[in-house]
């Protein structure tokens, strides 16, 4: 969840490098931040504060000259948001500094063993620095760090530096850690945007691996104690994709990126798509799984496979998937969806499937991510960096790719491509200044409402759930999504005169049913916002979308992304960094 970034190299402004790079990781956590660096006399200097790194001053940091520094932006798990709990953590003897992403499950055991009086914070992380310092009484820095990494339980990625040592050491298990490589310079981070302006060449650390960076990096397998080689990978991203440009927020930029990202998502090797289609056709039990927005995408894909390919697939949220182990066999296939490719619950679902011998296919947005590397087969959705916490362009890219795969299973790959190319063109036309102005006017009309309800049917029911997520997470308005036909079984009791209700409607076989449900809401006094390719008399506001056929979930969810964005801005919220949330959920 947290963002970690370290630098070692020929430049003497390492503190400034990690300070600025940390801002590019703020979507991973923004409760507090800190920077630590090696001083000329070999000692460690430290600065940390409560609040967002984007609002912090460089004063006291950029004046320092150093070739080695590391930084951290926090999403609190253990201990409240205080300066003492902020990272980096310096050992009580002042010899070791550590930054950490993840959760150390056996931290209380170490605190008890070392003595509670040594600890100044409520965090689990502090045990790492204290243990390394303790073990350095008998071992060198490298061996002490290796011993600690082996003893920790839970998921972690940590980076450590020590006084008198001109090197940094890092290890990972379950949380992402990536090494950026440039001649004479090394960048360690939890995500690529931190160092993308410097290099696109990376080494990915896998679980139970450690790297020691002095003159050059040395990699070790913690299970075998052996030195290993790592393959250098070049990332197909450019620094401009990770910047806001002329937009006020990343969320709006990423919504507008959807003019291009649908086409990029379906620009796949046809042989790979057909190979996946064969996997699905030959499997005895196909499961779709993801978390949050990824889960809602998987729910919509259930309908895609049913309607397009006459194929039954099963959906389960990744956090619930392990119970399905009773039904898994070697001929089963699990398809997982994850923007970051680092989601903890998704990785656990994959582990459960693989223990049963099942195959795993993944759709990810980050090349070389843990989910991608752990899969038997993986496809990139090619959405480019997504930095706003609320997923937008990644979600529609995932929908597009799964719809394309469903067409391939049906033997209609070219029909699917044609449909999605036409849909992408329609989205490009839809996202014009007049459309955005109208959505903002709708937001202005409902911004003071405490509750909003969204209904959908068939593949637009999962989009009603996704719409609720978007409105909840960035505007903090209570929003709920329902299957339209379930209104009469309870939810309609929530509707009173003036309650905003959004209907997601398509030109499909359930059109008549959801119009009737919308009329029922109108009869109870609801303020109806119709998202549809046609106008209906029940609509108080009509948000016109293209008639995209079976691709309607893609075009219907985009206006709600915009509505959520404008509600957030009108309510004085930060749509990029909603409270209590972080972009990549790497802890359970």
Catalytic residue numbers, as ranges: 2, 583
- Answer left, alpha or beta for residue 63, where phi above 0 means left and psi between -120 and 50 means alpha: alpha
Q: What does the DSSP assignment read for 359-385? A: EEEEEESSTT-HHHHHSSEEEE-----
DSSP character at residue 459: T
Give the position of tokens 């998937």: 321
- Compute the C-alpha angle 482/318/472, nearest 5°: 40
Rounded Cα distance between 141 and 139, Å, is 7
Rounded Cα distance between 198 and 203, Å, is 15
For 363, half-sphere exposure in the C-beta direction (CA atoms, 13 angstrom radius) is: 33
The strand ranges marked E within 447-526 are 451-456, 478-483, 500-504
349, 318 Cβ separation under 8 angstroms: yes
| Residue from 361, 340, 50, 65 nearest 193 by CA | 340
Alpha carbon separation from 454 to 179, 298, 565 (Å, rounded): 43, 19, 16
What residues contact 396, with CB distance under 8 A and at least 6 apart? 258, 261, 262, 265, 554, 557, 558
- Compute the C-alpha angle 32/38/40, nearest 5°: 145
Q: Is the peptide bond before 88 cis (omega within 30 degrees of 0)?
A: yes
DSSP character at residue 135: H
Calculate the dihedral angle through the C-alpha atoms of 463, 465, 471, 472, rounding to the nearest 10 degrees. -160
Rounded Cα distance between 299 and 525, Å, is 30
Rounded Cα distance between 182 and 198, Å, is 8
- Strands 68-74 and 32-38 come out as antiparallel
| Residue from 509, 586, 577 nearest 30 by CA | 577
Give the position of tokens 């959405």: 383
The helix/strand/coil state of 295 is helix
**How many CB atoms are closer than 10 A to CB 432?**
11
């Amino acid at each position: 969840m947290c963002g970690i970034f370290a630098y070692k190299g020929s430049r003497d402004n390492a503190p400034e490098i990690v300070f600025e790079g940390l801002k590019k990781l703020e979507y991973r956590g923004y409760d507090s931040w800190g920077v630590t660096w090696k001083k000329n006399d070999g000692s460690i200097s430290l600065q940390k504060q409560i609040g967002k790194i984007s609002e912090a001053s460089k004063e006291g940091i950029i004046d320092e000259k150093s070739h080695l520094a590391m930084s951290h932006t926090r999403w609190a798990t253990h201990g409240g948001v205080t300066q003492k709990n902020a990272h980096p953590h310096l050992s009580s003897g002042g010899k070791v500094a550590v930054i950490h992403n993840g959760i150390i499950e056996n931290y209380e055991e170490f605190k008890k063993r070392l003595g509670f009086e040594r600890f100044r914070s409520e965090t689990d992380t502090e045990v790492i620095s204290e243990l390394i310092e303790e073990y350095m009484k008998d071992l060198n820095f490298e061996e002490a760090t290796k011993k600690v990494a082996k003893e920790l339980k839970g998921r972690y990625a940590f980076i450590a530096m020590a006084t008198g040592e001109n090197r940094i050491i890092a290890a990972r298990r379950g949380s992402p850690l990536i090494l950026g490589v440039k001649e004479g310079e090394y960048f360690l981070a939890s995500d690529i945007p931190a160092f993308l302006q410097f290099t696109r060449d990376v080494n990915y650390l896998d679980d139970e691996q450690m790297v020691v960076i002095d003159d050059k990096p040395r990699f070790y397998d913690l299970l075998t104690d052996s030195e290993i080689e790592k393959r250098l990978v070049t990332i197909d991203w450019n620094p401009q994709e990770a910047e806001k440009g002329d937009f006020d927020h990343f969320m709006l930029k990423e919504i507008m990126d959807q003019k291009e990202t649908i086409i990029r998502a379906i620009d796949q090797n046809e042989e790979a798509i057909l190979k996946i289609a064969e996997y699905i056709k030959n499997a005895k039990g196909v499961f779709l799984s993801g978390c949050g927005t990824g889960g809602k995408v998987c729910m919509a894909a259930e309908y895609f496979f049913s309607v397009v390919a006459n194929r039954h697939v099963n959906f389960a949220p990744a956090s619930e998937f392990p119970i399905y182990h009773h039904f898994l066999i070697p001929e089963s296939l699990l398809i997982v969806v994850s923007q970051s490719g680092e989601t903890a619950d998704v990785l656990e679902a994959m582990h459960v499937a693989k223990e049963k011998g099942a195959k795993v296919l993944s759709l990810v947005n980050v090349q070389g991510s843990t989910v991608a590397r752990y899969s038997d087969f993986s496809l990139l959705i090619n959405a480019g960096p997504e930095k706003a916490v609320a997923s937008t362009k990644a979600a529609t890219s995932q929908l597009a790719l799964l719809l394309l795969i469903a067409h391939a299973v049906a033997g209609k790959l070219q029909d699917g491509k044609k449909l999605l190319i036409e849909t992408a063109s329609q989205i490009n036309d839809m996202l014009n200044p007049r459309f955005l102005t109208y959505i903002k006017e709708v937001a202005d009309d409902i911004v003071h409402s405490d509750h909003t309800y969204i209904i959908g049917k068939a593949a637009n029911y999962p989009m009603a759930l996704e719409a609720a997520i978007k409105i909840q997470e960035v505007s903090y308005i209570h929003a709920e999504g329902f299957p339209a036909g379930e209104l009469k079984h309870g939810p309609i009791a929530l509707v009173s005169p003036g309650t905003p209700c959004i209907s997601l409607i398509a030109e499909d076989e359930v059109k008549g049913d959801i119009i009737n449900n919308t009329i029922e809401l109108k009869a109870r006094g609801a303020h109806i916002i119709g998202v549809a390719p046609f106008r209906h008399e029940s609509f108080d506001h009509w948000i016109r979308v293209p008639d995209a056929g079976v691709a309607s979930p893609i075009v219907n969810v985009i206006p709600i992304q915009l509505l959520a964005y404008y509600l957030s801005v009108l309510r004085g919220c930060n749509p990029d960094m909603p409270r209590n949330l972080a972009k990549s959920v790497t802890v359970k």
